[in-house]
Amino acid sequence: MSSAPEIQALAEAPGYHARRTLPLRVEAMRQLRRRRTLLMGGVLAALPFILIIAFAIGGTPGGGDGGGGGGSRIDLMDVATESAANFAATCLFVSAGFLLVVPVALFCGDTVASEASWSSLRYLLAAPVPRSRLLWSKLVVALGFSLAAMVLLPLVALGAGAAAYGWGPLKLPTGGALASSDTVPRLALVVAFVFVSQLVTAGLAFWLSTKTDAPLGAVGGAVGLTIVGNVLDAVTALGDWREFLPAHWQFAWADALQPDLEWGGMAKGAAVSVTYALILFALAFRGFSRKDIVS
């Protein structure tokens, strides 16, 4: 990597502006062309069609015993084929706990670590791209792709559900229905909350990505710690301490699918997730600014 005087000289060169280095559109195109991005998009887009085929083979969902901790899930499955909106909500429910964690961990954990594994990180910094600018560009693009993944699933589900089950009001498992005009805004609110709740996973993956040269280590570490959080939330002996776990609020978006919109759970969940995420992002920026780059 270039010495400090050389970097200073480049920084003072005519026409050089730190903010113009590593533009977001360049980083976005780099990530979009990667095979793992296309593969992840294909998996998410295929899920609604897999569920439609499963319903066609197995018959109309429902008839579960409602026992155990999965009762609310069975209730949602009972109305999955009532309309496109119901089908989209069901797709979000079955994927929010794990499947949507994977793209977030993948896009955010593969940011800096992949450059280090390719031995291209030091050349980017020698361009010179300021460290804060490099992290900022990669983080914004990673979060953008994570949000796109969460939007892609319900959009495909709405289209596939409309073709398979028709368009109509969102029927609630507890009885009643949301008007067709309210379904899309409510589903958009659900997607927004799911994205905010996954910021913790994004923060974990991004922080780990600045600590290791192995992308799989950062991705796997973030997914593993997220799973640990889910396990801890299942330990009822922790009592009220579970409210400090982001996993405790991951399905608070169900309040958005009630006749009277409830904000309490989503507000608490968003506050917990954003707090953890900001701390993890700050640790990533602070640690990377002092890190000796050798790869």
pLDDT in tens, 106-161: 999 988 888 888 877 777 776 677 888 888 999 999 999 999 999 999 999 999 99
Sorted by sequence, the CB contacts under 8 Å of residue 36 that are 6+ apart come out as 106, 110
| pTM of the complete model | 0.84
* Cα→Cα distances 263→45, 46, 190, 194, Å: 30, 32, 12, 14
Using the Cα atoms of residue 178, residue 158, residue 77 and residue 254 in order, give the sign of their dihedral.
Answer: negative
List the structure tokens of 180. 């067709």
Going residue by residue through the chain, which has 295 residues, state the pLDDT in tens, using 9 for 90 and above. Answer: 444 444 454 455 555 566 666 677 888 888 888 888 999 999 999 999 999 998 888 766 655 444 433 333 346 777 888 889 989 999 998 888 888 999 999 999 988 888 888 877 777 776 677 888 888 999 999 999 999 999 999 999 999 999 988 888 888 877 778 887 888 898 999 999 999 999 999 999 999 999 988 888 999 999 999 999 989 988 989 888 999 999 989 888 888 888 888 888 999 999 999 999 999 999 999 988 887 776 5
* Cα→Cα distances 79→216, 232, 261, Å: 38, 30, 20
Helix (H) or strand (E) run with residue 177 in it: strand 177-178
Q: Is omega for the bond preceding 23 within 30 degrees of 0, making it cis?
A: no
* Distance from C-alpha of 106 to C-alpha of 38, rounded to nearest angstrom: 12
CB 64 within 8 A of CB 142: no
pLDDT in tens, 149-192: 999 999 999 999 999 888 888 888 777 788 878 888 989 999 99
